[in-house]
Amino acid sequence: MSRTAVYSALVLRSRPSGESNNEVTLLTAEEGIIKTTVFGGPKNKLRAHSAPYNSGQVWIYRDPAKDYGKLSDFDVQSWRPGLRELYERTMAASAAAETILTTHGGGGDWGTALQLASSTLDALESANEELCSRLLIHFLWRWTKFLGIQPYLENCASCSMGGDASLWYNSRESIVLCANCVTMNREQTTINNETRAGSSGLLKLNPGCRKWFIATEQIEPSLLYRYSMDNKSFNEAKSLVTSVIAGTLGKRLASWDW
């Protein structure tokens, strides 16, 4: 039986291990998250090939006796050098990668996880500063659907009010409610624009924010430049997606805030 396996992979993280080696964490279509080791010093070409956000086919040699995997070859098909040319691109890519790692690659259907990540990174490579933030929100929103935790935003979960009304996301139950239903359920006695999920479990979503999510959910990241948001909607959108994922993880990721 061969000890070398071939994977379609994306590098999520690379960091020093020991005196001259690197530990590389991959998202693979075949087995999800895999850790492997690149042996050798700076002159080893695999150190450059296994830089974060590169993707392609990798060959990993497994030694069952020593319980480790060695990256023996990497046919890089996407280098994505543009991600390192702009701070906002780097930060958005890092936030997406950390989200994938923290949620264990989604827990299954890794081929879809790899496609979601790769399409976002491809779009980020040439994105301007403002678009980078929207691309991250778009990725996180699609990731919530992939994880099965995405709330339904079109109307109130209790009375079906929607349309141009403002709704409130209830982080405790992961549903959206209209003002009347919030009051009736005694979640809050006074609703105002200062409401935040961290204090009351409620987050206000104006119609523009909800419509942006609904309109962009099915589109590819490469087309996201066509869908803009005002600052108010952007702030609400970012608060929503991070609140949904943080509710599942039990913590917020520092990489979301930059």
Q: Tokens 């006796």 belong to which residue?
A: 65
Tens of pLDDT, residues 56-71: 999 999 887 766 789 9
Q: What is the mean pLDDT of residues 104-121?
A: 96
Residue 193 above 50 pLDDT? no
Q: pLDDT > 90: what percent of the chain? A: 78
Residue 175 above 80 pLDDT? yes
Per-residue b/e over 61-72, b at no fewer than 16 CB within 10 Å? Answer: beeeeeeebbbe
Q: What is the mean pLDDT of residues 178-188?
A: 75
**DSSP string computed for 160-227:** --BTTS-EEEETTTTEEE-HHHHHHTTS-S---TT--HHHHSEEEE-HHHHHHHHHHTTS-GGGGGG-
Tens of pLDDT, residues 10-26: 999 999 988 889 999 99
Residue 7 above 90 pLDDT? yes
Long-range Cβ contacts of 24-31 (<8 Å, 24+ apart): 24/50, 24/71, 25/101, 26/58, 27/100, 27/105, 27/110, 27/113, 27/114, 27/117, 28/58, 28/110, 28/114, 29/110, 29/111, 29/114, 30/5, 30/110, 31/7, 31/110
Helices 207-216 and 129-147: crossing angle, nearest 10°? Answer: 70
Long-range Cβ contacts of 196-203 (<8 Å, 24+ apart): 196/239, 197/169, 197/171, 197/239, 197/243, 201/170, 201/171, 201/172, 202/168, 202/169, 202/170, 202/171, 203/168, 203/169, 203/171, 203/236, 203/239, 203/240, 203/243
* Among 141, 122, 165, residue whose Cα is nearest residue 237: 141
pTM: 0.91
- CA–CA separation, 218 vs 142, rounded Å? 8
* Among 6, 97, 59, residue whose Cα is nearest residue 105: 97
Strand pairing category for 21-28 and 32-38: antiparallel
Q: Are 53 and 84 in contact (CB under 8 A)?
A: no
More confident call, 92 vs 185: 92
Q: Are 98 and 128 in contact (CB under 8 A)?
A: no
